[in-house]
Amino acid sequence: MGRRAEDALTLALLAAAVAVAAFLRFDGLGEPSYWLDEILHQQLTTKLTANRWWQWFGRLEEEHAGLYYLTQLATRVFGTTEFAGRLAAATFGLATIPLLWFVPLERRALGASLVLLAVSPLHVYYSREARGYALIMFLTAALIAILMRGRSLAALCAVLLAMLYTSAVASTIVASAAAVCFLVAIVDREHRRWYAWATACAAIVLALFRAIYAARPMYDTKLPGFPPLDWDFATTLGRMFSVSAFGQEIAGRTAAATVIFALIGAIAIARNSHRQAIVLIGMTVLPFAITLLALRIYDHFFAVRYVVASLIGYLLLASVGIWSAAAKAAAFKRGGESRRAAYAITLIIAILTAAQAWPSARTEPFQKLDWRGIASTLRQYVRPGDVILAAEPWSDVSLRHYFGEVPGVRLVLMSGVGITEVMVNGSPASWLVSAGASTDTSIRTWMCRYPIVLANELENFRLHYAPSLRDFVQHRARPADLRAFSTALGDDGFTIKPDDEPLFGEGWANAEGTFRWAVGKRATVVFPRNEKRDRTIGFHAYPATPQTMRVSLNGHAVGAVALPNEWRDYTITVPAAFWNEGLNTLAFEFENSVVPSEQDRRELAVSFQRIWIDRQKPAGAYPVAFNDCD
């Protein structure tokens, strides 16, 4: 295989990598809801449209300048959907793939890097988020290509200024570029002049970072601090940079192999060219190390997005390592056969590595909490007078973005447990939402006294309902909820026990161990059923005083039974015509009740240990015949 054939094959590989990368970055781009940071950036983009044109040339907020927001404004020609909001990131992510073609490395190694970057879960993930990290990785790839070529100061300055105009996060990349250029200027006499000027350019831009942005990262000290730099931290990072953006415990051998290939690549490139080794190793290690040092100094929590700039160099080094190992493996062949075998081995290793990363790249970007769906669901349940109470700014911002305005319903961010209690007690119904991180978890903890009606592990989301699960089931549940609840109870029958609070309606005292008293003249049980058919109703009861009890279902009298002064089982067969598909109300009406004492003024009628629906008639149960009682 000649040089032209190799270039043609690499170009074909580039085309295939771009096609795969486009699929991974654009397919279903607008399907997941925004999460908090994306929403905040979209809100800030909208707010910045009111700025005068000259205000766009400086810092727009503490940690960001205007380049990212300009790209967001540009994509708004396609609307304000999630697809439009993420379009710029996906475009920069895709453009990074062909940009690697301009990195002056062995073409066969570049072929492997195209495959690895196209399917990199970390790169795919941040190419599908409406934030600036895909832009930063694109600029980092351009910077690596320029520094390794060492030819155009104008292009270098343009990329450095673009980083300055993007985010304070890019300062670590510019600082790394300054250090790299300084080292190359020392060791490489042939290119010393160019790298000396490059050092000066990077140093000037770095000084501008200090002048424009805040001196330290914005951070609340109540949030978790910097994690320990232990083996778990290292292995998680290894997986993040190769097989899972979330650092899931998968494909551990592939992640370890990628690290080994990167080390082999660093050694191989150092043997071939000190200048290129300093640039590529430096632009991989230094942004990572400087960022970790800054986070450690300020005891700031760590997130992999802070070090994504190192991903480009890391995958380039791994690709060089794969090629070097493949060349060694094919050394037993001669001449052109050796080159062809090495290229084939390189591509096979790269493709196998990408295959391990593919499931994560395909699924992880979609693993976002569906705030859009949550808001849509809430709009179906709420009624005028309801309040939605958010436990922390995270849940307030996220839900408010999608919920919009509903007449008579308020969405309120809570500031303390006391006011939250007042709001709940003063409203007919309250929806209590909590998600994400917060420096004050007191309200979130307090909400646990109310039942959860919706929850998700993503963002640790919980939705509680007040006043009770009984109120939700009997007054707010929709047909689909009732069908699910009925199925959960048991389609072939179920037993209501004294502590099954959601099923008891009016006329009941609190549960007392294994029984519950019906009080007054009437008590009801409310429960769902999925179809209309003949059913048996049974109960185990003891009267406070001997009496006759009338039983009705959904307003239809179904029987009357004499209750002697003892515990007994009773059954009533009820025809299909009396049943509802959905909620059914079983009512017990009593002739007599007893007040036990001056200390206990309850009007006790009948005590129930269990009520069953559709169960087999227990041995010794007393049947109740239908009659014409009203």
Tokens of 203: 């140093």
For residue 339, the model assigns a pLDDT of 75
* Separation between Cα atoms, residue 38 and residue 339, nearest integer Å: 47
**Does an H or E element contain 424, and which?**
helix 417-425
- For residue 442, what are the contacts with CB-CB under 8 A and spacing of at least 6? 416, 417
3-state secondary structure of 528: strand
Q: Which helix (H) or strand (E) holds 466?
A: strand 461-466
The predicted structure's pLDDT at residue 344: 87
Domain boundaries of the chain, sorted by first residue = 3-135+227-366, 371-467, 480-623
If the chain, 630 residues long, is cut into consecutive pieces of 10 residues, what is the mean pLDDT of each piece?
Answer: 69 93 97 96 92 82 86 93 97 96 87 95 98 97 96 95 93 96 94 95 94 68 81 95 95 95 96 94 97 90 94 97 90 68 90 96 97 96 96 96 94 94 94 92 94 94 94 92 91 90 94 95 95 94 94 96 94 94 95 91 95 68 41
H or E element, residue 589: strand 582-590
The pLDDT score that the predictor gives to residue 491 is 83
The pTM score is: 0.87
- What per-residue confidence (pLDDT) applies to 333? 61
Reported as half-sphere exposure (CB side, CA atoms, 13 A), residue 141 has a value of 27
Cα(441)–Cα(454) distance, rounded to whole angstroms?
19
CA distances from 204 to 167, 171, 211, 283, 470 (A): 16, 12, 11, 18, 67
Residue 192 CA: distances (Å) to CA of 158, 160, 183, 186, 187? 21, 20, 10, 7, 8
- Residue 55's pLDDT is 82
**pLDDT at residue number 214:** 67
Please count the CA atoms within 13 angstroms of the CA of 474 that sit on its side-chain side: 19
At 130, which amino acid appears?
A
> Residue 217 has what pLDDT?
57
Tokens of 201: 């350019």
pLDDT at 629: 37
Q: What is the pLDDT of residue 219?
A: 59
Measured distance CA(202)–CA(171) in Å, rounded: 10
Q: Return phi, psi of residue 556, to 5°.
A: -100, 125
Per-residue pLDDT at 328: 87
Predicted pLDDT of residue 626: 35
CA atoms within 13 A on the CB side of 436: 19
Exposure of 285 by Cβ count < 10 A (0-12 exposed, 13-18 middle, 19+ buried)? middle
Cα–Cα dist 349/352, whole Å: 5
Q: Which CATH architecture has domain 480-623?
A: Sandwich (2.60)
